[in-house]
Structure 1
Amino acid sequence: MVMCKKITASLFLCSLFFIQNALAEPLYWKAEKGAHELLIFGSIHMGTPDMYPLPETIIDHLHHSQALITEINLSDVADPQFYTTTEMTRDILNEQQKKRLSDIADELSLPVPMLLDRPSWQSALALQITQFVQLGFSPDYGIDQHLTNLALGKDISILGLETAGYQLQLFSQDNRTGRVLLIDTLNHWERNKKINRCLLETWKAGNSHQLLQLADESEIETELTERFIYTRNQNWAEKLDDPAFLTKPGKYTVAVGAMHLVGPQNLIDLLRKKGFSINRLSKSEPVDCEL
């Protein structure tokens, strides 16, 4: 799932003026400690065909890796378990907000009654994901899915930093989370379109400064940022430093949402504090997005 500092319509992330040459690459780093060498790649979870091919360095590293590590193991088809909130969308929206929901649903060709009768977090995700699809994104071109397919084809193990059930519980564990996400989605619908268009080009250019600006532009309240970003980054750093998780010496390819690799308490800085020697390998180019 798309995770960034904003936990709303930019979930999986304008007139655009884009400057990029052949040297620009998505963000990736090499992190080394003891017998382990990690290539940490900033992903986006829905994408477009023009994101490919990926840099040869990443593919070569994957082919020589003990395992591919992603946020969740997409090859695990087990049905995730999660808490179900009881507060439906129709229960939390006033008449003006319901009219806004109806207008957006018409734009996306989604049935309004279905959205009103879902928990608020499910309605928020349905709107966000459908917006990405309407903008031309597809989960089939998401980096996680692409790398998972390559790993399966080469019989490379796949490890998840967390479970799908854990991710769903982030949204469903309390009513307030869904309420905040849905209302924020409705209030910033048009702005989110511009942010999401800009996100793709910024990712392709490997521009960490612009990614951070997008995160700041999209920031949501501190409590959710702590839960969806900072706590998860801490958990991931602990796992990547745990020999019980990386049981074999050698190379590992790590792909997590690019927004987890920039800004405060990012995964790269947390691993550096744990004694990893880290070098950025990717080259970036400027991006000028009109937000």
Structure 2
Amino acid sequence: MIKSLLSKALLLIPFISHHALAEPIVWKIYDNHRQFYVLGSIHAGEKEMFPLPQAFLSQWKKADALVVEANILQHSAPATQNKKPPYTQETLNNEQLEKLKTIAESLSLPYKLLTSQPPWLTATYLQLTLAKQLNLSTDQGIDYVLLKRAEEQHIPIKSLESVEYQLNLLQNLPHNGNGMLLETIDHWQQTKASLQCLVDVWKQGDSEKFTTLFNDTQYDPETNEALIFARNRHWAETLTQSPDYQSGRFMVVVGAFHLIGEQGLPALMKQAGFTVERITKGTTAQCEDWETIRQS
């Protein structure tokens, strides 16, 4: 809250609210030689998510590099998908297949095509199409927008992983990604409400609700380890120990769920001896549909 703002103004100017003063979460993680300004990304977003927090943009002007999960702008041959069995139709029971059929119809996706894909790819199709249905675009994803900006402004781009590595990770999930698919379809209404809520939680910087969303959308332990926690540890090791990051100012943009909890990137870097500070303020996000589903 801006301390100098007169309480009388709050009565006279109705469009000023506490939401206008909230910002997405930005972390400053530093030691004597390097500073990391860390912003969580939503990979498919909307125009209302911009402009980004001033605390982040002010450091952008002095950045030595932008650090992302993978540079999706790199022009390389499309990675080959290894669509190995078992396929979705072989991993789901009849009840689960009926759920998938209903979801596919609601998204205008071809059911038979989905059942002939590996479970990880079926889950990916469902989630990407849901985002599109909710008017979220990958062109408005935080990492995509900042990659384009860095490219235009000739700011060096560093990647923690390659696109090929990420695809290989999905292709080698435990049980071919069946845990990822089951979580998606068994809790579809909650998945949909969670995605709608996520954008508002991100914009308002609501750390408490972020944590609850993260906990509510967990996969099975093996899948979580592969998709989230093992990668967090690898990134923390890279940022703290790689010669590429021993001095300078780095703007780090990774998926927002990688920044949460004791196994999140800020906590891991704090354990490594860095000072960790949140430099933006948030407020409570309103997610009535999601909260109703959680309580039912």
TM-score normalized by the length of structure 2 = 0.86
1:176-214 per-position Cα deviation (integer Å, ceiling 9, x unaligned): 142212222111111111111111111001111110011
CA–CA distance in 1 between the matches of 2:181 and 2:223?
A: 13
CA–CA distance in 1 between the matches of 2:197 and 2:136?
A: 13
**Equivalent residues of 2:67, 2:159 under 8 A apart:** yes
Aligned length: 272
**Equivalent residues of 2:118, 2:176 under 8 A apart:** no
- Cross-structure match for 1:109: 108
**Equivalent residues of 2:259, 2:265 under 8 A apart:** yes
- Cross-structure match for 2:221: 222
**Structure with greater contact order relative to length (CA < 8 Å, sep ≥ 6):** 1
State how 1:70-85 maps to structure 2 within 5 Å: 70-78=68-76, 79-80=78-79, 83-85=82-84
Matched AA of 1:48 = E
Q: Extract unaligned runs of 5+ from structure 2.
A: 1-16, 292-296
Task: Select which of 240, 255, 258 maps to 1:257.
Answer: 255
As a proportion of its length, which structure holds more helix? 2
Task: Select which of 25, 28, 45 maps to 1:27.
Answer: 25
- Cross-structure match for 2:181: 182
CA–CA distance in 2 between the matches of 1:218 and 1:196?
A: 10
Matched AA of 1:60 = S
- Cross-structure match for 2:141: 142
Q: CA, structure 1 residues 82+275, in 2 after alignment: closer, same or farther (shift >3 Å)?
A: farther
**Equivalent residues of 1:101, 1:186 under 8 A apart:** yes
Deviation, structure 1 residue 243: 4.0
State how 1:197-276 maps to structure 2 within 5 Å: 197-246=196-245, 249-276=247-274
State how 1:156-167 maps to structure 2 within 5 Å: 156-167=155-166
CA–CA distance in 2 between the matches of 1:175 and 1:223?
A: 7
**Equivalent residues of 2:173, 2:226 under 8 A apart:** no
**Aligned to 1:86, what secondary structure does the other structure show?**
coil
Q: CA, structure 1 residues 175+236, in 2 after alignment: closer, same or farther (shift >3 Å)?
A: closer
CA–CA distance in 2 between the matches of 1:280 and 1:250?
A: 19
Deviation, structure 1 residue 83: 4.8
**Equivalent residues of 1:82, 1:165 under 8 A apart:** no
CA–CA distance in 2 between the matches of 1:252 and 1:90?
A: 45
Farther off after superposition, 69-78 or 228-237 = 69-78
**Equivalent residues of 2:43, 2:141 under 8 A apart:** yes
Percent sequence identity over matched residues? 35
- Cross-structure match for 1:279: 277
CA–CA distance in 1 between the matches of 2:102 and 2:231?
A: 35
Question: 1:100 aligned to 2:99?
Answer: yes
Q: Extract unaligned runs of 5+ from structure 1.
A: 1-18
Deviation, structure 1 residue 117: 1.6
- Cross-structure match for 1:10: none
Question: 1:194 aligned to 2:189?
Answer: no
**Equivalent residues of 1:161, 1:236 under 8 A apart:** yes
Deviation, structure 1 residue 253: 0.3
Deviation, structure 1 residue 171: 1.8
Task: Select which of 34, 38, 41 maps to 1:43.
Answer: 41
CA–CA distance in 2 between the matches of 1:81 and 1:162?
A: 17
CA–CA distance in 2 between the matches of 1:222 and 1:122?
A: 19
Task: Select which of 35, 58, 61 maps to 2:59.
Answer: 61
Deviation, structure 1 residue 94: 2.6
